[in-house]
Amino acid sequence: MKLLITGFEPFANSQINPSEEVVHALAEKEIEGVELLTLILPVERFAGPDTLIRTYISAQPDVVLSLGEAGGVTAVTIERVAINLLDFSISDNGGHLVTDKPIVADGPSAYFATLPTRQMVNTLTEVGIPAQLSYSAGTFLCNQVMYEMLHYVHKHQMKTPAGFVHLPQLPQQTAGKRPPLPSMSLDVMVAGVTAVIHTITQWFTANRLVQS
């Protein structure tokens, strides 16, 4: 299975993004049954989704899994829904501050992730890593990237499964904050995303066998 996995560069005056760190760590790993393609996206309204779609077109992966940072979450968070809304609470890295605009004019109100989200959460729980399902990916770049990837696949009648996972912040991002904020170590996040990839691989292989 050829898997394109993406993270984001740091944003909001931070010097680190856990999704970028996890992607870099995974690039050094061998995962059985997986050809892993890695990509770091700019946190920018236009360049972020454009970079993802252009890479998807050229690489033609079987599955797309995007990762992002969610400050304040206590668990690896599997997103089920992306909504057609840009409503930034902060400017992106390109200086864009967007309020109450659709991602795609006249596009569907929402798309559901096409990965086995419930199975992904169950796997993480079984291996002892905090995990949860989420029904809102926000209204910033994470939601936009998820929506635009699913919209592209739907628009072009393709069958590539795609979805999004939010990660907690790293301990060094929360140290000294008052009140204390939740965090998760890089090793635990890497183990969690690896477990998620194994689940996706098994699900993808089973579906392919059924279809053949």
Fold classification of 2-211 (topology level):
Aminopeptidase (3.40.630)
Report yes or no: 9 and 93 within 8 Å, Cβ to Cβ: yes
Instruction: Tell me the average pLDDT across 53-60.
Output: 98
Distance CA 33, CA 201 (A): 7
Report yes or no: 137 and 149 within 8 Å, Cβ to Cβ: no
**pLDDT 10s digits, 74-124:** 999 999 999 999 999 999 999 999 999 999 999 999 999 999 999 999 999
Contacts with 93 (C-beta within 8 Å, 6 or more apart), sequence order: 9, 11, 42, 43, 44
Is the predicted pLDDT of residue 175 greater than 70, yes or no? Answer: yes
Count of residues in the chain: 212
Report yes or no: 104 and 151 within 8 Å, Cβ to Cβ: yes
Sign of CA dihedral 102, 103, 104, 109: negative
174: tokens are: 């929360």
Q: Determine the pLDDT at residue 10.
A: 98
pLDDT confidence band for 158 (50 / 70 / 90)? very high
> Which of the following is catalytic: 20, 21, 148, 166?
166
**pLDDT 10s digits, 12-46:** 999 999 999 999 999 999 999 999 999 999 999 99
Phi-psi region of 106 (alpha: psi -120 to 50; beta: other; left: phi over 0): left
> Which of the following is catalytic: 21, 44, 79, 148?
79
Is the predicted pLDDT of residue 211 greater than 90, yes or no? Answer: no
Say whether 30 is catalytic: no
Is the predicted pLDDT of residue 209 greater than 80, yes or no? Answer: no
Say whether 166 is catalytic: yes
Say whether 126 is catalytic: no
The domain locations on the chain are 2-211
Is the predicted pLDDT of residue 144 greater than 80, yes or no? Answer: yes
> Which of the following is catalytic: 20, 21, 69, 142?
142
